[in-house]
């Protein structure tokens, strides 16, 4: 496993946002994240409360197959 520097993570993150959202919405997303207080850990903990492990796994496998 390669270890990424903080700069590499930021660059890859922006590339991913732009590829997914387009440049305008990627910038808007970053702006929203900086403007509003956001507890990523809490958000992540609550994100899949209504889904089973099997459902989450299926979604992940489908997404991976779609993005190959």
Give pLDDT, residue 47: 86
Give pLDDT, residue 1: 61
Alpha-carbon distances of 67 from 15, 20, 45, 60, rounded to whole Å: 15, 11, 25, 11
Q: In the chain, what are the domain boundaries?
A: 6-66
| pLDDT tens-digit profile, the chain (68 residues) | 689 999 999 999 999 999 999 999 999 999 988 888 888 888 888 888 899 999 999 999 998 898 77
Asked whether the whole model's pTM tops 0.75, one would answer: no
What the block records as the tokens of 20 is: 């997914």
Where are the alpha helices (H) located in 1-52, listed in sequence order? 6-21, 23-35, 40-47
Give pLDDT, residue 30: 92
Give pLDDT, residue 26: 96
Exposed / middle / buried, residue 29 (Cβ in 10 Å: 0-12, 13-18, 19+): middle
């Amino acid at each position: 496993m390669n270890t990424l520097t903080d700069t590499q993570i930021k660059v890859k993150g922006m590339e991913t946002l732009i590829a997914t959202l387009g440049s305008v919405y990627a910038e808007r997303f970053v702006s929203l994240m900086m403007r509003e207080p956001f507890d990523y850990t809490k958000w992540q903990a609550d994100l899949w409360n209504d889904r089973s492990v099997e459902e989450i796994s299926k979604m992940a496998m489908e997404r991976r197959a779609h993005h190959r």
